[in-house]
Amino acid sequence: MVWALEERPESIRFLLHDNDGKFTKAFDAAFASERTKVIHTPYRAPNANAYAERWVRTVREECLDKILILNEGHLYRIMRKYVAYYNGARPHQGLEQ
């Protein structure tokens, strides 16, 4: 997975995840070795992951539920275009609509 991330033109700065047992210290170390800051959500704080959950819901409702994904490469291309649209062209209150 880290090798695939090395091929990206832009680096991933943050990795946000909860404290589930499936995220081991070795998992975090692999991302830390690539200068990615690993951020754990606080214990017993169900709303701490609300921003990530909202992002996933937005992507599903606005993009993925409307498109038939053919394979991983197709998903990657669609998500790249959607993220560019989401960060640039889509109206945001923080960007004064």
Look at residue 97 and tell me whether its pLDDT is greater than 60: no
Q: Using alpha carbons, select from 97, 91, 62 the residue that is nearest to residue 79.
A: 62
Q: What is the DSSP letter of 41?
A: P
16 beta partners: 39
Tokens of 91: 């109206």
35's CB contacts (< 8 A; 6+ apart) are: 11
Tens-digit pLDDT profile for residues 39-88: 888 877 777 777 778 888 999 998 999 999 999 999 999 999 998 888 87
Question: Is the Cα dihedral 58, 38, 14, 30 positive or negative?
Answer: negative
pLDDT at 95: 55
53 beta partners: none
Tens-digit pLDDT profile for residues 10-44: 777 888 888 888 888 888 888 888 888 998 888 77
**pTM of the predicted structure, to 2 decimals:** 0.51
